[in-house]
Amino acid sequence: MNASSTNLETLAIHGGTPVREKLLPYGRQSIDDGDVQAVVEVLKSDWLTTGPKVGEFEERFAERVGAKHAVAFSSGTAALHGAAFAAGLGTGDEAITTPMTFCATANCILYQGAAPIFADVSRDTLNLDPDQVSAKLSSRTKAILAVDYAGHPAALEELGELAHRHGALLIEDASHALGAEHRGKRVGGIANMTVFSFHPVKHLTTGEGGMVTTNDHGLAETLRRFRNHGISSEARQRQEAGQWYYEMVLLGFNYRLTDIACALGLSQLRKLDANLARRREIAAQYTAAFRDLPEVTVPVTRDEGNPAWHLYPIRLQLEMLSVGRGEIFRALRAENIGVNVHYIPVHLHPYYRERLGHKEGDYPVAEEAYERLISLPMFHSMAETDVKDVCQALRKVIAQYVK
């Protein structure tokens, strides 16, 4: 809801009237009665954990992204861990990844005892720069782990070719990119393995949850065993076959996703196209609204990419402003616009500095971008008034701080 126009010229952080009366979050889930009913039906069924809805969700999801196999996990992080395991990462191995991501992308490499090797990002998309990756390849490189930052597909063909020539696998962290396309192909069937997240702020949610898609039958089988303690069969399979015997064939984890969550996922999947269309509409409105605002740089879309717009990250032209990103951030929050920052580069977190020896200045493109980034609210249930409030608030704040 718009606040009264009285006193809008004075920033809320300085005592003025905020643009909104209530906080607009940067992202949130959208659950309707159909979603609730789908979950209730499972709650009344015989299976709550790994039952028939898991397989159905996996099958429908694989069809949607154009992959032969989909393996559900309890979270996006668990799915990343599964992909790192299936890629064969272990002690002495290296995997090249981006610093411009949530820490789970790099952490999954550490979980396997391997070393994350960061490469800097391209200035336009903030995705992994293939030239920087090429310079980091070594005899120990076993995987390249790319991220589709904000929902814009990474340079998947170039990175895939680098991985293939080096005998490594390409793992795509598409947690931001469900529904995105790269050169006319859907994200999910391009890389050796593609990882998705179903956190509430993503394009569809299962509460917590994740998925790995692949066209490789062997990788899919390894992923299924890894998520189930390393056991070669699942309880439902044994029950249907009237058998009790099972074998643990590798050291796995309990990373299973429940039937409850998969019922929600199936219901949400049916609305994915509409959700994507709305996000793209919001992104287009933002881009049009800020194109003539020189103090702000809007996200770049390359010709070969059709982004899914999990985030809408702007970059501030700090040279044209009298304050830093922190002041702009706080001023927007005071206007009840729930902006966020994505991401603190992974190598700058204390663990990576103190335990692994990374330091400021190692990846200058990612670090410079971080100092300027602000993520505007982006979720498919945003109303037109919400979008207008964001545009009004950003212009109001920037106007106050122009040099």
Which residue numbers are catalytic? 202
202 and 178 Cβ atoms separated by less than 8 Å: yes
Tokens encoding 130: 């293939």
Residue 326 CB burial class (10 angstroms; 0-12, 13-18, ≥19): exposed
Distance of alpha carbon 177 from alpha carbon 368, whole angstroms: 24
* Ramachandran region, residue 206 (left: φ > 0; alpha: ψ -120 to 50; beta: rest): alpha
| Count of all residues that appear for the chain in the document | 403
DSSP one-letter string for 346-372: GGGSHHHHHTT---TTSSHHHHHHHHH
Helix (H) or strand (E) run with residue 97 in it: strand 94-97
- In terms of DSSP bridges, do strands 181-182 and 305-306 run parallel, antiparallel, or are they unpaired? antiparallel
Tokens encoding 277: 């269309």
Burial 294-318 (b: 16+ CB within 10 A, else e): ebbbbbebbeebbbbbbbbbbbbee
Of 308, 371, 386, which is closest to residue 341 (Cα–Cα)? 371
142 and 169 Cβ atoms separated by less than 8 Å: yes
